[in-house]
Amino acid sequence: MSFQLSPNVDKSKVFFIKHSELQDRLDPLFYVAVENIKNNVRMKAKYKCINLIQACSINRGRFGHRPRNDPKFYDGKYPFIQTGDVVKASTANTPIKYAQTLNELGLKTSKLFHPPKLVFTIAANIGDTAILDYAACFPDSIVALIPHRSNIKIEYLNIYLMLILPYVVIRLKKI
């Protein structure tokens, strides 16, 4: 089936989608609401509205060696948190507890992050957050968010990301 748009239609305001590609309800009122929120924030906000990437830097964890479970890297003095540790802390709203540690050799293949850092899971359980309040290493399935400005508190970012998590997960599933 094919059809043509009238030449009077602004093509920048129209999009087409196949019925078979719809996963959820397509609701134009949602997009109107989002646009109204953006306009209200721009007009009434005391502080400039910025993107997350403008508010903080994002540093990915690292553990370069494969296989990851090679025992020669573990049982040292450096805490090594895993995605599951962040998920547990996020769910319970508690500090991050760790079960593994890296030794000096493990530290050479990883990276030590100093507190405070907001950690964010990007694999397996996507979008879980917790505040890291001790020096620790973590794999590339976790990123650290570090605010650029002193007026952006890690605690605020943590709560904000927890609140928008359902939206973030839905958007990531569609990518």
Query: Strands 129-132, 117-121: parallel, antiparallel or unpaired by DSSP?
Result: antiparallel
Q: What is the pLDDT of residue 71?
A: 92
- pLDDT surpassing 80 at residue 36: no
Domains located in the chain, CATH noted = 51-174 (3.90.220.20)
pLDDT tens for 109-160 read: 999 999 999 999 998 788 899 999 999 999 999 999 998 877 788 998 999 8
Lateral strand order in the sheet of 112-113:
100-102, 74-80, 136-137, 112-113
User: What are the backbone dihedrals phi and psi of residue 100, each rounded to the nearest 5 degrees, phi first?
Assistant: -115, 155
Q: How far apart are CA 46 and CA 54, in angstroms?
A: 17
As a whole number, the mean pLDDT across the chain is: 82
- Residue 42 CA to residue 37 CA, distance in Å, equals 9
| The pLDDT of residue 165 is above 60 | yes
pTM given for the model: 0.70
Task: Check: CB of residue 69 under 8 Å from CB of residue 109.
Answer: no
